[in-house]
Amino acid sequence: MLLEEIMNRDVATLFPTQTLKEAAATLRDKKIRHIAVINEAREVIGVITDRDIKQATPSTLLESNDYSVLDTPVEKIMTSNPITGHPLDFVEETATIFYDNRIGCLPIVSQGKLVGMITESDMLYKFIELTGVTQPGSQIEIRVPNKAGVLFEVSKVFYEHNINVLSVLVYPDKKDELFKILVIRVKTINPLKLVSALEKEGFHVIWPSQPKM
């Protein structure tokens, strides 16, 4: 999946000379947490967040009424030259950029100009969608040998029972590198007949576990 499929194209922007007061109003009115700072050529030169503004402004608990700091240009506190992405970057690879750099947003740039924005919330929701959990169904976890063709063998059982697969995740078995765990989301509320069929074919179903006779 590419970033252009999930990025927000209606991006809030400010120029570097606009004030913290304007930035705070934009965040409040648009109910967002990140704003891209651009120049006249729509090139991204910074990012300013709600956290930046909170750190720069006086606490409401203080007695001072001096809020002149709100007239400060955003360029004084913004994160300059932020990491950017491209619309054709893969979502999965971009997720590692968020994690490795502990960032909350990623401006998306094409031909040097801002064209979109991705936030950590966007990324998280997309991965939730990819698990299939937003659709009604059931989850089955199967421990399988780490070898080619296993997924095909498992899929045959689903096909024979006319069960539609919503998503498949594969991760290593932490206890034994010779095995992997398949997490399969299927479009059925009661998967017990399917579990029985998988076990009959010799697969080790971890979840849901059935009572032993």
Percent of the chain predicted with pLDDT > 70: 95
| Other beta carbons less than 10 A from residue 175's beta carbon | 8
Nearest Cα to Cα of residue 209 among 141, 154, 146, 150: 141
Block residue for tokens 């976890």: 141
CB 23 within 8 A of CB 35: yes
Q: Is 0.95 topped by the overall pTM?
A: no
- Condensed to tens digits (0 to 9), the pLDDT of residues 8-43 reads 999 999 999 999 999 999 999 999 999 999 999 999
Percent of the chain predicted with pLDDT > 90: 78
- Condensed to tens digits (0 to 9), the pLDDT of residues 115-146 reads 999 999 999 998 888 888 888 999 999 999 99
Sign of CA dihedral 95, 97, 101, 103: negative
Measured CA to CA, the distance from residue 191 to residue 101 in angstroms comes to 40
